[in-house]
Amino acid sequence: MKYLTLAVGLGISAAVVLVVPGSGATASMQSATVVDKPHRVASKYLKQRPQWTKCGDEEFRTYCTKITVPRDWANQYSGNDLQIAVSKVAPVKGKPTRVVFGNPGGPGGAGLGMAPYLASQAPLAKNFLAIGFDPRGTGGSTSVSCDGAPGYTMDARDRDPGTRDLIAEASELTQPYCDRQSRGLLPYITTAQTVQDMDLIRQLLGFDKIDYVGYSGGTWLGAYYQTYFPEHVGRFVLDSNTDFTGTWLDTFVAQPQAFERRFREDFAPWAAKYDDVLQLGSTPGAVIRVYERLRRSLKAQPATEEFLDGAVKVTYDENILDQMVTGDMYSKLDFHSLAADLLFLRDLSAAQAKGGPRAAQRRVDALPPARQQQLVERAHRTPIGLRMLGDYDSEDATFTAITCNDTPWPQGREYGEQLAARLGPHYPLVGWTMTENPCFYWKRPNLTMPTPTGRGLPTTLMVQSVHDPATNYGLAVEAHSQYAGSRLLTVTGEGDHGVYGGVNKCADRIVNTFLTTGVAPATDASCKGEGIPAPSPEVPGLDEAAGAPLQKIAGFTKAVSGYLP
């Protein structure tokens, strides 16, 4: 999951769940058909024969296609069809005996890279057909857009009534902009529609059951596929879990405490431990004060500098500093980059305060070109997880549509402002941003989805690190307690968002055993975290191929996207 400009909250224990008011608290509904159960597929969709095209370099062994799906699965003869981009990687030798689907989260993250990513996991390469897809609304599939919608450039920590009015106005205007840009498609961007797209892919591939690996928002999608199509469920792995037994608000309301914990209990002590290298302070408190002082100075005097051929405005808010900090909480492999950037920005701000813009520019000009390029890339990098790297507009629009459409939200500004006022003082990193939320003003389609319970399903393996910043550990515990037959694999001493595929050897071994043999732990299990690596001599780059699982998936998605018309 991503950290939301729209979401956040929980000033109490992570295990506490806020109850969303019922339908009486929601705004009037848009006129989209209710899709609360699977629908029999019209023959015209089953008769299609996808044409597969090689996508990406030869080494990826990936083929892509587009399939046709109805805009509304409850009204398949309306003539308003959509295109869904799908990728596959077959075993090197022989015919696959199983098929494994993957989703990188978001919700709304482009997912064509899931096929080569899953195929790169050695235990899956022999017998599995690996499948990725861009969900409806995003990437190479028929997309939605919120281009032109007002953003949140104001400081959510500013409690001035004028600032709060601007945040409320921006939130309220989001849906009209998105509706206008999305050609009437927005009400049909829901999990209920997406799981039926998934099942059509299954049928066209000719498999009776699917296995599945879903990260972050993909845990929500996976649980709902299980709920809609239990007879086609194989081995499901849900990694870095939303509370898919509740509402989207339940998941996002737990973020502030989780982000703050990751920052204060993981990053700050690590940076203080290596103060001789990182120079951010010899105690966790000193490290945190560097961020807070830098934020205040950049708010008072932002710096606009020339990096290579372009200008970058260095500000305090989610455009640069706040986004950099929260985005780098997702993976311990980004901690060194964050520390180096905080040090540089501190020195840049100090130079500007003392000698003006020219002194600050001299700091930039003194950097090697490679380091300048790295800073430019990081300035435009978005958090991974709830939102993936790629076509930001369509991914953001899909993210907003799904989280606002799927489940009810209390309507109006009062609820969000009360949460922000309660959470912000305790969890300032993102706690104040609870007001930055289009869903509090969103007119939902007439949709009520069945609540996932897990009853009657094969074992579901849930994987979770205890200090995950984007999907709080308490969410996994709550969902696990409500989901029949689930097993919870906890990675202790760890906080990465997205575990399977390189974060923890013990967890990888358990997940691979489950996927390849169907054998899950007899009871809940745990693996010990492998620790945060010491700073390297050089500042790490942005090599996605060498990064955390979700970064690797994003790299694969970039490599294999764009080959289909």
Burial 520-544 (b: 16+ CB within 10 A, else e): beeeebebebbebeebeeebbebeb
For residue 162, the model assigns a pLDDT of: 95
Both 216 and 281 in one domain: the answer is no
| pLDDT above 80: residue 9 | no
Report which of 478, 450, 72 is spatially closest to residue 225, judged by C-alpha positions.
450
Rg for the chain (alpha carbons), in Å?
23
For residue 465, the model assigns a pLDDT of: 98
How high is the mean pLDDT of the chain?
89
Both 281 and 347 in one domain: the answer is yes
Both 248 and 289 in one domain: the answer is no
Locate 326 and state its tokens.
Answer: 């929260």
Pick the residue with more confidence: 312 or 234? 234
| pLDDT above 80: residue 539 | no
Q: Look-up: residue for tokens 């689907």?
A: 101
For residue 110, the model assigns a pLDDT of: 96
Pick the residue with more confidence: 387 or 483? 483
Q: Helix/strand/coil (H, E, C) string of 431-484? A: HHHHHCCHHHHCCCECCCCCCCCCCCCCCEEEEEECCCCCCCHHHHHHHHHHCC
Both 362 and 505 in one domain: the answer is no
| pLDDT above 90: residue 305 | no
Both 99 and 244 in one domain: the answer is yes
Helix (H) or strand (E) segment spanning residue 528: strand 525-528
For residue 262, the model assigns a pLDDT of: 98
In a domain, 58, yes or no: yes
Tally the domains of the chain: 2
Instruction: Give pairs for 501-510: CB < 8 Å, separation 24+.
Output: 501/117, 501/121, 501/549, 501/552, 502/548, 502/549, 502/552, 503/465, 503/530, 503/548, 503/549, 504/529, 504/530, 505/530, 507/463, 510/461
In a domain, 301, yes or no: yes
Give mean pLDDT, residues 205-215: 98
In a domain, 551, yes or no: no
Report which of 29, 144, 6 is spatially closest to residue 443, judged by C-alpha positions.
29
Give mean pLDDT, residues 528-544: 82
Q: Is the bond preceding residue 540 a cis peptide, omega within 30 degrees?
A: no
In a domain, 521, yes or no: yes
Both 94 and 239 in one domain: the answer is yes
Give mean pLDDT, residues 232-252: 97
Per-residue pLDDT band for 22 (boundaries 50, 70, 90) equals very low
Residue 510 three-state SS: helix
Q: What distance lies between CA 213 and its chain's CA centroid?
A: 14
Torsion over CA of 150, 155, 160 and 162, rounded to 10 degrees? Answer: -20
Both 107 and 224 in one domain: the answer is yes
Per-residue pLDDT band for 319 (boundaries 50, 70, 90) equals low
For residue 99, the model assigns a pLDDT of: 98
Cα separation, 201 vs 203, whole angstroms: 5
For residue 374, the model assigns a pLDDT of: 81
Q: What distance lies between CA 405 and its chain's CA centroid?
A: 17
- Here the CATH number for the domain that contains residue 136 is 3.40.50.1820
Both 134 and 204 in one domain: the answer is yes
Both 107 and 226 in one domain: the answer is yes
For residue 285, the model assigns a pLDDT of: 98
For residue 459, the model assigns a pLDDT of: 98
Per-residue pLDDT band for 20 (boundaries 50, 70, 90) equals very low
Q: Running DSSP on this structure, what letter comes out for residue 187?
A: G
| pLDDT above 70: residue 226 | yes
Out of 5-9, 101-105, 414-418, 497-501, pick the least confident: 5-9
In a domain, 243, yes or no: yes
Give mean pLDDT, residues 516-527: 98
For residue 537, the model assigns a pLDDT of: 82
In a domain, 408, yes or no: no
| Domain termination site, one of 321, 350, 379 | 379
For residue 18, the model assigns a pLDDT of: 30
Q: What is the pLDDT of residues 264-288, one digit of tens each?
A: 999 999 999 999 999 999 999 999 9
For residue 16, the model assigns a pLDDT of: 27
Give mean pLDDT, residues 425-449: 95
In a domain, 89, yes or no: yes
Per-residue pLDDT band for 307 (boundaries 50, 70, 90) equals confident
In a domain, 51, yes or no: yes
Q: What is the pLDDT of residues 454-494, one digit of tens each?
A: 999 999 999 999 999 999 999 999 999 999 999 999 999 99
Cα separation, 320 vs 232, whole angstroms: 44
Both 216 and 289 in one domain: the answer is no
Torsion over CA of 305, 296, 316 and 546, rounded to 10 degrees? Answer: 90
Q: What is the pLDDT of residues 352-384, one digit of tens each?
A: 999 998 998 999 889 888 888 888 777 666 554
Both 70 and 216 in one domain: the answer is yes
Q: What is the pLDDT of residues 79-116, one digit of tens each?
A: 899 999 999 999 999 999 999 999 999 999 999 999 99
Cα separation, 28 vs 192, whole angstroms: 20
| pLDDT above 60: residue 504 | yes
For residue 381, the model assigns a pLDDT of: 64
Cα separation, 115 vs 110, whole angstroms: 12
Strands 210-215 and 128-133: unpaired
| Domain termination site, one of 326, 353, 379 | 379
Amino acid symbol at 125: A
| pLDDT above 80: residue 555 | yes
Both 204 and 301 in one domain: the answer is no
Q: What is the pLDDT of residues 123-156, one digit of tens each?
A: 999 999 999 999 999 999 999 999 989 888 889 9
Which DSSP string do the residues of 38-82 spell out, in sequence order? --PPPHHHHT-----EE-S-GGG--EEEEEEEESSTT-TTSS-EE
Amino acid symbol at 306: E
For residue 389, the model assigns a pLDDT of: 33
Per-residue pLDDT band for 203 (boundaries 50, 70, 90) equals very high
- Domain residue limits at 347: 274-379
For residue 33, the model assigns a pLDDT of: 59
Write the Ramachandran bin of 411: left for phi over 0, alpha for psi from -120 to 50, otherwise beta: beta
For residue 294, the model assigns a pLDDT of: 95
